[in-house]
């Protein structure tokens, strides 16, 4: 890593097309830089939980932009609900537009999109929808498919009925915190965080996530920018197998898949996180160089 640089952290918000206030955080290095890193959190959490990660990136001369998805954290909207994943993607696109406007006077700036879990799915969908706007994609344990157990097959069969009759029911099982990380301090903090969702997911959100996964299959060939995917091989929340299959099918000529031995889902909080973060910094820096 390079010498650490100071930065300023600004909390703010913008109004979505649906007139919802979307909470944002910007970590801006005080000196010259040419890398903007937009990060998307997962379902039921919020971007402030990743402050330690953003702090490291900003001190390595990355301008970091993060938001709370609608209904999450400090953003407005119905809690942990959406009528379509396009609502999230529209907000991400609007936020990216703000980031670009902030750097309009620096045409050499490189823009990277990153996300974890559901944020990984949203990042992939956004990159495929706006493929010319991103210089690279960094995904952590992306939720891009589901291993269909017998129970999930039964739930899926009735999803349409529940979605039509009771879309806001919270009957889809939430993630078991102990599966998130081997770092007990992290899991205890996750459970204690009042801004996190500690209940089951709403039917409508679960259905829309499933639809988003299926839609990605139809547009993933648009992802031709450099991409790196990190996935723990002991992840029981999202599927390493599906993640690797997605990677293999990508058209990008600059792609890497990093299987992290023994690691769980929240890779940025696992005991080996320093190595993972160093790898991310090196990967992004190598693709931020101005030719």
Q: How far apart are CA 18 and CA 95, in angstroms?
A: 14
Has residue 171 got a pLDDT over 70?
no
Task: Report the number of distinct structural domains present in the chain.
Answer: 1
Answer whether residue 25 is part of any domain. Answer: yes
Q: Which domain holds residue 185?
A: 7-286
Domain containing residue 121: CATH number:
3.40.50.1820
d(CA 94, CA 72): 17
pLDDT at residue 148 greater than cutoff 80: no
In whole angstroms, give the CA distance from residue 119 to residue 121: 5
DSSP per-residue codes, 81-124:
--S-HHHHHHHHHHHHHHHHHHTTT-TT-EEEEEEETHHHHHHH
Identify whether the C-beta of residue 143 lies closer than 8 Å to the C-beta of residue 242: no
What is the pLDDT at residue 158?
41
Assign 167 a pLDDT band (cuts: 50, 70, 90).
very low
Mean pLDDT of 237-254: 96
Mean per-residue pLDDT for 168-185? 77
Taking the C-alpha atoms of residue 113 and residue 123, their distance in angstroms, rounded to an integer, is: 6
The whole-number pLDDT of residue 2 equals 62
The 10 Å Cβ neighbour count of residue 261 is: 8
pLDDT score of 146: 79
- pLDDT value of residue 168: 47
The pLDDT value recorded for residue 199 is 81
Residue 291 belongs to a domain: no
Please state, in angstroms and as integers, the Cα–Cα distance from residue 243 to each residue in 107, 147, 246, 288, following that order. 33, 11, 5, 25
User: What are the angstrom distances between the C-alpha of 238 and each of 34, 119, 147, 150, 179?
Assistant: 33, 12, 8, 17, 10
Digit-coded pLDDT (tens) for 67-120? 999 999 999 999 988 999 999 999 999 999 999 999 999 999 999 999 999 999
Q: How confident is the model at residue 204 (pLDDT cuts 50, 70, 90)?
A: confident
Residue 173 binned pLDDT confidence (cut-offs 50, 70, 90): low
Per-residue pLDDT at 260: 99
Residue 2 lies in a domain: no
Q: What is the pLDDT of residue 172?
A: 52
């Amino acid at each position: 890593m390079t010498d650490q640089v100071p930065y300023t952290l600004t909390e703010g918000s913008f109004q979505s097309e649906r007139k919802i206030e979307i909470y944002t955080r910007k970590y801006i290095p005080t000196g010259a830089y040419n890398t903007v890193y937009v990060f998307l959190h997962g379902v039921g959490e919020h971007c402030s939980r990743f402050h330690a990660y953003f702090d490291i990136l900003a001190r390595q001369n990355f301008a970091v932009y993060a938001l709370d998805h609608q209904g999450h954290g400090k953003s407005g909207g119905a809690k942990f609900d959406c009528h379509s994943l396009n609502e999230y993607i529209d907000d991400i696109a609007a936020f990216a537009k703000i980031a670009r406007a902030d750097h309009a006077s620096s045409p050499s700036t490189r823009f990277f999109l990153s996300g974890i879990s559901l944020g990984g799915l949203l990042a992939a969908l956004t990159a495929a929808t706006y493929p010319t706007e991103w210089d690279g994609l960094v995904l952590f344990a992306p939720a891009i498919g589901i291993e269909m157990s017998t129970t999930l097959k039964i739930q899926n069969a009735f999803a349409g009925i529940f979605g039509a009759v009771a879309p806001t029911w919270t009957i889809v099982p939430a993630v078991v915190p102990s599966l998130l990380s081997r770092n007990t301090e992290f899991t205890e903090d996750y459970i204690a965080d009042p801004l996190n969702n500690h209940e089951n997911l709403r039917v409508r959100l679960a259905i829309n996530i499933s639809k988003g996964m299926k839609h990605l299959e139809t547009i993933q060939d648009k992802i031709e920018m450099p991409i790196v995917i990190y996935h723990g091989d002991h992840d029981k929340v999202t599927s390493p197998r599906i993640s690797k299959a997605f990677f293999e099918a990508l058209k990008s000529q600059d792609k890497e898949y990093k299987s992290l031995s023994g690691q769980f889902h929240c890779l940025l909080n696992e005991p080996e996180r320093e190595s993972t973060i160093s790898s991310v910094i090196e990967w992004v820096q190598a693709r931020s160089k101005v030719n």
